[in-house]
A and B are shown apart, each in its own frame.
Chain A
Amino acid sequence: MINGTVVDLSRIQFAATALYHFLFVPLTLGLSFLLAAMETVYVTTGRSIYKDMAQFWGKLLMINFALGVATGLTMEFQFGTNWSFYSSFVGDIFGAPLAIEGLMAFFMESTFIGLMVFGWERLSKGQHLAVTWLVALGSNLSALWILVANGFMQDPVGAAFDPVTMRMQLTSFPKLIFSPDVQSKFVHTSIAGYVTAAIFVTGVSAFYMLRRRHMALAKRSFRMAALFGVLATMGVITLGDALGFVAASVQPTKLAAMEGLWKAEAAPMPFNLIAFPDQAKHENRFEVQLPDLLSLLVTHSLTGRVRGIDALEGQAERKIENGIPAVQALEALSRDPKDAAALAQFDAHRSDLGYGFLVQRYAPDLSKVTPAQVSEAARDSIPPVAAVFWSFRLMVAFGLLMLAFFGLAALYTLRNSVQEQTWLLKAALWMIPVPFLADEAGWLVAELGRQPWTVFGVLPTWMSASTHSVTYMAFSLIGFIALYSIFIVIEMYLMVRAIRVGPSEHGDPGVHPAQPRPVLVGRPVPAAAHGTRLED
């Protein structure tokens, strides 16, 4: 019915465009709040260097924001263009947060970002500060609603299947937005954005300090970002732990894949620090284990246990057997919505409807399903273990690395001697790609770990895609790759260029450690100084 190649190409296209979009989003989430912090200092102390800072980092934000908005358009439409069955099947629930995102958050963010950039001379200081705060709030509220939608895919609460309309329907909006997965996922992602921006700002500031340029601005930016980052990194790690705790109960297959856990052992369970999972043989080829840690991390107790993949596959087989009559009843209901016998059969088996769909990939005619097909589908119910396992370890390692870096950065900047620690400044430069890689790895853990489902336990990925031809998919995939490659080259070029040109300073006190001299912080700026732009 649906071509497997088309599904694969649709998945590749979605993953590529989402990962690409997610290069720009975290920086916006965090940098907008850093800008708000800088401008808050400007307004409360009146020192104009903080205005220069807000304007300089604001300029970099805009280069990033343009591509974030552009690639976000793709995401908004791709559910309909490439995942049409998914969209009609869960649109009743999934569409609502996307629409609310527009109403509540994106309108606010986009309207005020125009005023933030163009309104410096038209708004009072207080008004402009409020506008900047609203941009930061708006961008993070956007993330909130997107993650409410995503949270539904991970843990579909607050909804039920309606055999009359043949789709999932919303039953409780509060359950949807207050689901534990949504809550912890939102805070984790938003704060990961703060970390990303903090690394970016410390890295670029370190670049200036290494070259002894814009010292006052760089030192202040570094200080603010280091403190911002050290607290945010702690938050990200705390929330990551909370998220793992939630996954243990709502997505056991994801958790088992993250931990490379094939067979459940007796509590307290050991943690696989390093392992090479072999999905065909259901074992790890090489393991370095830390005793007791898994129970402690995932269940927050020494006696807690989580299920291994072997047990989960057995459970999936039972669910598939139970789900098959539900799909058959549904087909009868589609022909005659008033068929009472079919309705009764459906109600008896409805909890495993999704598992019935899962096996349909191998047995389109469910009346002839064989035990071999059932166990094939059950094997499918486990996500790609090695990929999830290693993405997870990469993300955690990067998180801990950033925590160590921010610890040192905060220490030295609080002593006001970071400008002399050349090694730390060089490290800061090398740290710039790290949060971006961690963000991407986090996306992979969350979304690869959700497979083979688009909506966990409810709708399999293979059914969700649109019924396009391979030609169409090849055409669109090539188009996206071509366009996005051009875009990233332009964006990187402009970003690096803007960083090299550096801030235009009006109130730089210019304190250099080598030659201390009295300076006037925040002295009034002569009007002519405003016209010193390098271009135009």
Chain B
Amino acid sequence: MDLYAVAQVIWWLLLGVLLMGLAVMVGMDMGVGAILRYVARSDLERRVALNIIGPHWDGNQVWFILGGGAIFAAFPLIYATAFSGFYVVMLLLLWTMIMRPLGFEYRSQIAQPAWREAWDWVLLVSGAVPMIVFGAAFGNLFRGVPFHFAWNLTSFYTGSFLGLLNPFAIVTGVLSLSLAVMMGALTVMNGAEGAMFQRARGLAQAAAGTGLALFAIGGFWVHAMPGYRLTGGPGEGVPQTPLQQAVTTAPGAWLANFGAHPILWLVPLAGFAGMIGAWLAARAGRSHLGWWLGALAWIGVIGTAGAALFPFMLPSSTDPSMSLTVWNSSSSETTLLWMAGFAAVFMPLILWYTGWAFWVMRGKVSAEKIARGDEHAY
């Protein structure tokens, strides 16, 4: 492999890391938002739940923004084709996501119950909808997306909005939501006490169970589904456009990578182990352990999808040979290497100060302190 191909694979991996970071960190905040009305019954309880993630949601959300930026920089053709193709879905994602910062910041500004109730609903919608969209988007990658290119790479999307809500995408969408709910519940357990802790504990177990079932169902479904196979083209690490390759489809082809490299089975195994472990840890009331196992579950689930699809990133159902792969949709070598340099410097820094921020704000959130009117609490 030459340097360009290595850089392409590195960025494919880094994108995977960012998506995992997004799923774990944003997913937990969205999970808290989605379960807020169930797990916290009084306004005081809800404020406890919001203050648990209060200092961190903003920083966590940057995983989402960085994910978008990294796709743009490293795989511009994917960014351009997917975001414009999924237009209505992207708007749904965007509109729910832009309500979320307001839900956090504005809810506490006014004490009227109706005001707060309204923002609680906003937090529910802006927690649940983006996670379903996130999962459903992955589901649609397996089925292929109806798009094609003109000679100058103008992309045309020929599908409908409802076509994206097919049964398989619903399975992956709900899988994503249950993992987020599980992480949200474990986060509430980390920071809350008493009745809230117990409600969150029950919910974490239920969500982990649902996640397990859906992940297994999804696995069997993919087994029978037509997958894509790259049969010809300019090759790896060669500058190219998506107009120059040959792709065929065959049932079960999505599992070809696992057949060729059996060690990859460890990845879905990690997903199952993470979910089972998180379930057991929640049952035992050990939420911190459960949270880390939940993160492992996300890594396993997203890693499984990535390992199955590789080298495909956005398969085309209109014309499979126009499918976007790691090789034909990435940026140039110069860009990928500069970006890798920046990532090598700043990713460790980000992990370090994010860790520090969580360390500073560690411990339980006290309801008494909030009730007393602690000045900077939500």
Contact between A and B in the complex (any CB pair below 8 Å):
yes
CB distance from A156 to the nearest CB of B (A): 15
Within 8 Å of chain B (Cβ to Cβ): is A108?
Answer: yes
Q: Which of B72, B79, B88, B240 contacts A164 (CB 8 A)?
A: B240
Give chain B residues whose Cβ lies under 8 Å from the Cβ of A108: 353
> Is B335's CB within 8 Å of the partner chain A?
yes
- Determine if B247 is an interface residue (Cβ-Cβ < 8 Å): no
Contact B376 A95 (CB under 8 A): no
Is A69 close to B, CB under 8 A?
Answer: yes
Flag if B66 contacts A107 (CB, 8 Å).
Answer: yes
Q: How far is the CB of A119 from chain B (nearest CB, A)?
A: 6
B166 in the interface (beta carbon within 8 A): no
Chain A residue numbers with a CB within 8 Å of B353 are 108, 111-112
Known interface pairs A107-B62, A169-B335. Does A87 touch B80 (Cβ–Cβ under 8 Å)? yes
Residues of A within 8 A of B366 (CB): none
Expressed in whole angstroms, the minimum distance between the Cβ of A150 and any Cβ of chain B is: 15
B312 to chain A, nearest CB (A): 18
Q: Do A114 and B59 have beta carbons less than 8 Å apart?
A: yes
Partner of A111, one of B59, B156, B375: B59
Q: Quick check: B241 and A100 within 8 Å, CB to CB?
A: no
Residues of A within 8 A of B156 (CB): 467
Q: Which residues of B contact A55 (CB under 8 A)?
A: 375-376
Taking a contact as CB atoms under 8 Å apart, the answer to whether B334 and A88 are in contact is no
B 321-354 binary contact with A (CB < 8 Å = 1; else 0) = 0000000000110110011001100110010011
Residues from chain A with Cβ under 8 Å of B57 in the complex: 114
B58:A110 contact, CB within 8 angstroms:
yes
Most buried by A among B81, B332, B354: B332
The answer on a CB contact under 8 Å between A73 and B79 is no
Q: How far is the CA of A67 from the CA of B105 in the complex (A)?
A: 9
| CB-based contact A103/B350 at 8 Å | yes
A96, A113, A162 — which one has the most chain B CB atoms within 10 A of its CB?
A96
Determine whether A208 belongs to the interface, using a CB cutoff of 8 Å to chain B: no
Measured CB to CB, the closest approach of chain A to B34, in angstroms, equals: 19
User: Is there an interface contact between B94 and A73, defined as CB atoms closer than 8 Å?
Assistant: yes
Q: Shortest Cβ distance from B162 into chain A, in angstroms?
A: 14
The reply to whether A533 and B84 form a contact with Cβ atoms under 8 Å apart is: no
Give chain A residues whose Cβ lies under 8 Å from the Cβ of B61.
Answer: 69, 110
Q: How many residues from A make CB contacts under 8 Å with B?
A: 90
A170 to B336, CA, bound (A): 10
Contact with A along B53-81 (1 / 0, CB 8 A): 01111110110111011111110110111
The smallest beta-carbon distance between A357 and chain B, in angstroms, is: 9
Query: Which residue of A1, A62, A91 is within 8 Å of B76 (Cβ)?
Result: A91
Most-contacted residue by chain A among B84, B90, B243 (CB, 10 A):
B84
Q: Is A249 an interface residue (CB 8 A)?
A: no
Chain A residues whose C-beta falls within 8 Å of the C-beta of B87 in the assembled complex? 81, 466, 468, 472, 476
Contact of A467 with B157 at beta-carbon distance under 8 Å, contacts A114-B58, A166-B152 already known: yes
How far apart are the CA atoms of A122 and B54 in the complex, in Å? 14
A85 and B154 contacting across the interface, CB-CB below 8 Å: yes
Binding-face segment, A235-243, A394-402, A490-498, A510-518: A490-498
Contacts of B339 in A (CB 8 A): 96, 99-100
- Decide yes or no: A170 and B69 within 8 Å by CB, A73-B98, A103-B350 being known contacts: no
User: Are B154 and A69 interface neighbours, CB within 8 A?
Assistant: no
Chain A positions 90-126 with a Cβ under 8 Å from a chain B Cβ: 90-96, 98-104, 106-108, 110-115, 117-120, 122-123
Asked if B261 lies at the interface with its beta carbon under 8 angstroms from chain A, I say: no
**Shortest Cβ distance from A138 into chain B, in angstroms?**
10
The answer, yes or no, to whether B250 is at the interface (CB within 8 Å) is no
- CB proximity to A under 8 Å, residues B20-79: 51, 54-59, 61-62, 64-66, 68-74, 76-77, 79
How far does the alpha carbon of A113 sit from the alpha carbon of B346 in the complex, in Å? 18
Q: How far is the CA of A369 from the CA of B98 in the complex (A)?
A: 46
A211 at interface by CB-CB < 8 Å? no
Would you give the shortest CB distance from A241 to chain B, in whole angstroms? 32
Instruction: Name which of A34-42, A329-337, A421-429 contacts chain B.
Output: A329-337
- The listed residue (A1, A84, A535) touching B83 by CB distance below 8 A is A84
Encode B342-378 as 1/0 by CB contact (under 8 A) with A.
1100110010011001001100000000101111110
Q: In the assembled complex, how far is the CB of residue B79 from the closest CB belonging to chain A, in whole angstroms?
A: 5
A88, A93, A117, A472: the one contacting B80 at CB < 8 Å is A88
Task: Tell yes or no: A379 within 8 A of B by CB.
Answer: no
A115–B360 contact, CB under 8 A? Answer: yes
Q: CA of A84 to CA of B77 in the docked complex: distance in angstroms?
A: 8
Q: Which residues from 174 to 188 on chain B have a C-beta closer than 8 Å to any C-beta of chain A?
A: none
Residues of B within 8 A of A504 (CB): 375
Which residue of the partner chain, among A1, A2, A84, A91, contacts B84 with CB atoms under 8 Å? A84
Contact between B65 and A76 (Cβ–Cβ < 8 Å)?
yes
Could you say which of B68, B80, B151, B347 contacts A335, with CB atoms under 8 Å apart? B151
CB–CB A74/B98 < 8 A: yes
A14 → B minimal CB distance (Å)? 13
How long is the Cα–Cα vector from A69 to B153 in the complex, in angstroms?
Answer: 32
State in angstroms the CA–CA spacing of A118 and B79 once bound together: 35
A531 contacts B by Cβ under 8 Å:
yes
Judge whether B155 is part of the interface by a CB distance below 8 angstroms. Answer: yes
Q: Is the CB of A536 within 8 A of B55?
A: no
**Inter-chain contact A84/B81, CB cutoff 8 Å:** yes
Contacts of A497 in B (CB 8 A): 109-110
Bound-state Cα–Cα, A334 to B153, Å: 9
Q: Is B91 an interface residue (CB 8 A)?
A: yes
Choose one: A2, A81, A85, A165; the contact of B239 (CB below 8 Å). Answer: A165
Q: In the docked arrangement, what's the CA distance between A472 and B342, Å?
A: 37
- Picked from B71, B74, B106, the residue with its CB within 8 Å of the CB of A490 is B106
Q: Is B248 an interface residue (CB 8 A)?
A: no
Q: Which among A66, A80, A110, A530 is the interface contact of B104 at CB below 8 angstroms? A: A66
1/0 contact trace for B268-309 toward A, CB 8 Å? 000000000000000000000000000000000000000000
Which residues of chain B are near A414, meaning CB under 8 Å?
none
Please state if A169 and B375 are interface contacts (CB–CB under 8 Å): no
The reply on A263 being an interface residue by CB < 8 A is no
Complex Cα spacing A69 to B332, Å: 30
> With an 8 A cutoff between CB atoms, is A178 at the interface?
no
In contact, B375 and A162 (Cβ under 8 angstroms) = no
Q: Which residue of A lies closest to B111 (CB)?
A: A535
Q: A62-B105, A80-B80, A479-B91 are in contact. Are A107 and B332 (CB under 8 A)?
A: no
Task: Name which residue of chain B comes closest to A473, CB basis.
Answer: B87
B141 part of interface (Cβ distance < 8 Å): no
Given A80-B84, A84-B84, A93-B335, residue A103 in contact with residue B54 (CB < 8 A): no
B94 cross-chain contacts in A, Cβ below 8 A: 73-74, 77, 81
Which of A102, A330, A475 has a CB less than 8 Å from the CB of B62?
A102
A487, B157: Cα distance in complex, Å: 32
Q: CB-defined interface of A317-358 with B at 8 Å, one 1/0 digit per residue?
A: 000000000000011001101000000000000000000000
Contact A103 B152 (CB under 8 A): no
List, in ascending order, chain B residues with CB within 8 A of A2's CB: 154
Taking CB atoms, residues of chain A closer than 8 Å to B347 are 103
Could you pull out 23 A-B pairs where Cβ atoms are within 8 angstroms? A67-B101, A76-B69, A81-B84, A81-B90, A87-B72, A87-B80, A87-B83, A88-B77, A91-B331, A96-B331, A99-B66, A102-B66, A103-B66, A103-B346, A110-B58, A110-B59, A112-B353, A114-B361, A122-B360, A162-B332, A472-B87, A472-B88, A487-B102
Supplied contacts A107-B354, A110-B62, 18 more A-B pairs, CB within 8 Å: A1-B150, A62-B105, A63-B109, A79-B79, A80-B83, A84-B80, A84-B83, A85-B153, A96-B73, A99-B342, A110-B59, A119-B360, A165-B240, A167-B153, A170-B331, A479-B91, A479-B95, A530-B375
Q: Could you list which residues of chain B lie within 8 angstroms of chain A, going by C-beta atoms?
A: 51, 54-59, 61-62, 64-66, 68-74, 76-77, 79-84, 87-88, 90-91, 94-95, 97-102, 104-106, 108-111, 150-157, 239-241, 243-244, 331-332, 334-335, 338-339, 342-343, 346-347, 350, 353-354, 357, 360-361, 370, 372-377
Q: Ordered nearest first, which 10 A-B pairs have the shortest CB separation?
A: A91-B76, A80-B83, A95-B73, A111-B59, A95-B72, A102-B66, A84-B84, A66-B105, A99-B69, A87-B80
